A and B are shown apart, each in its own frame.
Chain A
Amino acid sequence: MATTSTPPGVSRVDLARLTEHWAESPSLRGWFSTVDHKRIGRRYLVTAGVFFVLAGLSALAMRTQLARPEAGLLSPEEYNQLFTMHGTAMIFLFATPMLFGFGNYLVPLMIGARDMAFPRLNAFGYWVFLFAGLFMWASLPFGAAPNNGWFAYAPLSSEQHNPGLHMDVYALGLLFLGISTTAASINFIVTALKLRAPGMSLNRVPLFVWAIVATAFMVIFALPALNLDNAMLFLDRRFDTHFFDPSAGGNVLLWQHLFWIFGHPDVYIIVMPGLGIVSAVLPAFTRRGVVGYPLIVLSIVAIAIISFGVWVHHMFATGLPQLSYSFFSAASTIITIPSGLQIFAWLATMLLGRLVIRVPLLFVVGFIVTFVLGGVTGTMFALTAFDQQVTDTYFVVAHFHYVLIGGAVFPMLAGIYYWLPKITGRMYHEGLGRWAFWLVFAGMHVTFFPMHLYGLFGMPRRVYTYASEPGWGGWNLVSTIGSYVLALGLLLVLVGVVHAVRRGRPAPPDPWGADTLEWATTSPPEPYNFPVLPRVHSLHPVWDERTAESTGEGATADRILSEGRVTLLTSELDARVERPVPMPESTLKPLVLAAALLVLFAALLVAWYPVAAVAAVVVAATIAVWLWPAGPSRTSGVATP
């Protein structure tokens, strides 16, 4: 619940002006036209959560089918679509958007800014994400969902081997979604480099922000490879080009190279913000800063770069020269060092700090246990000979679920409990949260640990059923029981969130005694985030008296900025004040542009090319109107794009 008293350092008049400039109208139009990073961040979290539920229900259907040999709940065609949509949605429609939702909500607050650098681009990114997700999920009821696995290997994805719309939905859906991910990444980078509060030099940037920025850079460099791959796949399928057809001079391994040039960095794109959440949560529950801040920054930077040089370890069974494997084997081995560095830093933080056992910390501990187990099997894949033995078995399925649930879902759940008071202004129920943790933790390990075993026993992945003779039935039943326990735990998380929103007690600005700037403002924050933009004097600004004083009595007008809808521009390295910059107001243009793109991609899918051409014209016109130089802003007096 927002604090209503006037904060020190700012007058009632200034507060009224700030509210006038930053508050958006509570109307239907206001709902569709919002550019407030907090509202957009919440929408990312909720929408990604809905896609997570859909992908999770797909998994439950598959686990039910596999609970016993030769079951008939699902047909092979249905199973193919479910496992493909499960993987595609978890990777592209849940993990990254959910973590970008945290980033959207938190990055401006953590760096002491009033919004993202490009608020309209931010709104556009959300609408594109929503429409791309609906575009892909809508294909499932029609039996036309992607059915080739989430990495869609050629030549199985070609029209000849896979007729119908299935893989067209995949290629076009991911191209559409890529627009959103790229836009969000550019926004994160510019926001973190140019809008940091005065004094927040690079060595005072919160680790979560470092992680988001590194992730954004990875997206910018990795996603073009996937976009190129999908564009070529669509052209091969629809217009009979032959990029992946060796008989016509194409190369079937080209798909795999391009996919994994994106795909392996994408593992870290998913995990890295999760690691950032862990570094953000720990100080509040250990009562000290994370040990080895520069080394964790080193680890983030090193992982972000090295992750681009390990992709061929996904292709160790494709018959390339042994010497070329060695370069990737070396990088795949060494990348464990920076990952391990972070683990040891967190363990040292817990060892040296004073532990406060609350639900967010439980999920952090669960993350460490699960992620380390996934890391151990990951190191095993760096050895070419071992990798070739277990390729395409359930051992691989076990490994990446340990890495992704451990490295992303556990930190997300820690983050949900940790920031729920800030986002909703309400405290969660501790008992419900603890039950949820233990069910999720137990369910996860009961589901996925046996997969290591029946993977080593030879059970291939992506089979819709299996015979009883190999003896995999018992282990599969254990996995299925575990999956229902896991689902129950996740349901309790949802119940906890709803309970907090409806019945939780009001949250104070900083219920945890945490150290980063989002806790220096009200819960939930006002539309302008901070009445006075702080001047940062240390890595732990909320624990630092001088930073707190900078927002108190005597705060100067150049950090109140109540004359318009403006925030402060600062220098990239040392966050020295450059000038105030105007911020755009709410608008429907992002929604219109995203809707026009939806029509364009839908028309391409069903081969209505004249409609696609019209939609392309609308897209171009909307962009032109958007970028047309504007007159002086109503609230800032400065021209805004």
Chain B
Amino acid sequence: MTTTPPGPRARLTGGVLLWYGVLGGAVAWAVHVVAAWGLDELACAAGSDRVLAMPLGRVVGLAVIVPALVTAGSLAVAALAWRRTARAQATGTQDRAYGRSRMLAVVGVWVNLLFLTIIVLGGVAVLVLPPCQL
């Protein structure tokens, strides 16, 4: 089996970018839940439909769209890591860091898809329901 080292573009094995690809969607979703739920419940409990002079529905919408974009970015990074580690493994590298990175990339792809789905499903409700309807 050849031991030719993979190209430098394949060395996506540790680093912040890989972890963004694995956990970026999770963090974005956590921010989405806390922001969207918290703003909605607290503003409605206070009898207000505005936050910082903006309509509550629009603020909650932002708490959906921004995390969704961050999650989509995380998904793209995980997919990229998955492709590059696949190429690296095809060259027959023995470095076990590639196997580990590939597994993390696979986990990142699927987990980001799940989080994107949750954010989108919650976001649909923003289009349908008035913010303070009981």
Seen from chain A, the residues whose Cβ lies within 8 Å of a Cβ on chain B are 199, 201-204, 293-295, 297-298, 301-302, 305-306, 308-309, 312, 319-324, 326-328, 330-331, 333-334, 337-338, 573-574
Which one of B26, B33, B96, B131 lies within 8 Å of A323 (CB-CB)? B131
Q: Which of B2-10, B69-77, B116-124 contacts A (4 or more CB under 8 A)?
A: B116-124
Which positions in B face A, CB cutoff 8 Å?
Answer: 14, 26, 29-30, 32-33, 36-37, 40-41, 44, 60, 96-97, 99-100, 102-104, 106-107, 110-111, 114-115, 117-119, 121-122, 124-126, 129-134
- Given A201-B96, A574-B96, answer yes or no on A323-B60 (Cβ-Cβ < 8 Å): yes
Complex partner residue of B133 from A199, A294, A302, A323, CB under 8 angstroms: A323
CB-based contact A202/B40 at 8 Å: no
CA distance A29 to B36 in the complex (A): 56
A202 to B97, CA, bound (A): 9
List B contacts of A334 (CB < 8 A): 114, 117-118, 121
Q: Is the CB of A573 within 8 A of B14?
A: yes
Find chain B residues with CB under 8 A from A298 CB: 106-107, 110-111
Whole-angstrom distance between the Cβ of A36 and the nearest chain B Cβ? 31
Main secondary structure of the interface of B (DSSP, over half): helix
**Other A-B pairs, 5, CB within 8 Å; known A319-B134, A334-B117:** A295-B110, A321-B40, A321-B131, A323-B131, A573-B97
Instruction: Give the residues in chain A near B121, CB-CB below 8 Å.
Output: 326, 330, 333-334
Complex CA distance for A326 and B130, rounded to whole angstroms: 12
- Which one of B37, B97, B117, B129 contacts A312 once the chains associate, using CB atoms below 8 Å? B37
Chain A to chain B contacts (Cβ below 8 Å), 24 pairs: A201-B99, A203-B103, A297-B103, A297-B107, A302-B111, A305-B29, A306-B115, A308-B30, A321-B132, A322-B134, A323-B40, A323-B129, A323-B133, A326-B121, A326-B124, A326-B125, A326-B129, A327-B33, A327-B36, A330-B118, A330-B121, A330-B122, A333-B121, A574-B96
Contact of A327 (CB < 8 Å), options: B26, B37, B131: B37
Query: Nearest-CB distance from A574 to chain B (Å)?
Result: 5
Report chain A residues within 8 Å CB of B111: 298, 301-302, 305
B125 touches A323 (CB 8 A): yes
Given A201-B96, A202-B104, A327-B37, A302 contacting B114 (CB threshold 8 A): yes
Q: Which residue of A lies closest to B27 (CB)?
A: A305
Q: Provided the pairs A201-B99, A321-B131, A323-B40 are in contact, do residues A294 and B107 lie with their beta carbons within 8 angstroms?
A: yes
Nearest Cβ in chain B — how far from A213, in angstroms?
14
Per the bound structure, the CA–CA distance linking A574 and B100 in Å amounts to 7
Q: A298-B111, A305-B26, A573-B14 are in contact. Are A321 and B134 (CB under 8 A)?
A: yes
Chain A interface secondary structure, helix, strand, loop or mixed? Answer: helix
Cβ contacts under 8 Å, B36 to chain A: 324, 327
Tell me the bound Cα distance from A320 to B36 in angstroms.
13
Q: Taking the nearest CB of chain B, how far is it from the CB of A331, in angstroms? A: 5
Of A202, A309, A326, the residue contacting B103 (CB under 8 A) is: A202
Residue from B29, B32, B37, B106 with most neighbouring chain A CB atoms (10 Å): B37
Question: Given A203-B99, A326-B122, A330-B121 in contact, is the A320-B114 Cβ separation under 8 Å?
Answer: no
Q: Tell me the smallest distance from the CB of A314 to a CB of chain B, in Å.
A: 14
With the chains together, A283 CA to B133 CA distance in Å? 51
Q: How far is the CA of A331 from the CA of B91 in the complex (A)?
A: 40
Chain A nearest Cβ from B63, distance in angstroms: 9
Chain B residues whose CB sits within 8 angstroms of the CB of A328 once the complex forms: 33, 37
The interface residues of chain A lying within 8 Å CB-to-CB of B14 are: 573
Smallest beta-carbon distance A187→chain B, Å: 23
User: With A and B bound together, what is the CA distance between A328 and B121 in angstroms?
Assistant: 10
Please measure, in the bound complex, the distance between the C-alpha atom of A199 and the C-alpha atom of B97, giving whole angstroms.
10
Nearest Cβ on chain B to A322's Cβ, whole angstroms: 5
Smallest CB–CB gap between A243 and chain B, Å?
Answer: 16
8 closest pairs, A vs B, by CB?
A326-B125, A330-B121, A203-B103, A327-B122, A330-B122, A201-B100, A298-B107, A294-B106
- B40 engages A324 (CB within 8 Å): yes
Q: How far is the CA of A322 from the CA of B111 in the complex (A)?
A: 27
Residues of A within 8 A of B115 (CB): 306
A189, chain B: closest CB distance, angstroms: 16
Closest Cβ–Cβ distance, residue B61 to chain A (whole Å): 11
Q: How far is the CA of A293 from the CA of B26 in the complex (A)?
A: 21
Which of chain B's residues has its CB closest to A573's CB? B100
Contact A306 B41 (CB under 8 A): no
Which residue in chain A gives the minimum CB-CB distance to B43?
A321
Query: How far in angstroms is the closest Cβ of chain B from A198?
Result: 11
A207 → chain B, closest Cβ, in Å? 12
Which residues on the B side are within 8 Å of A199 (C-beta)? Answer: 96
Q: Find out whether the CB atom of A309 lies under 8 angstroms from the CB atom of B29.
A: yes
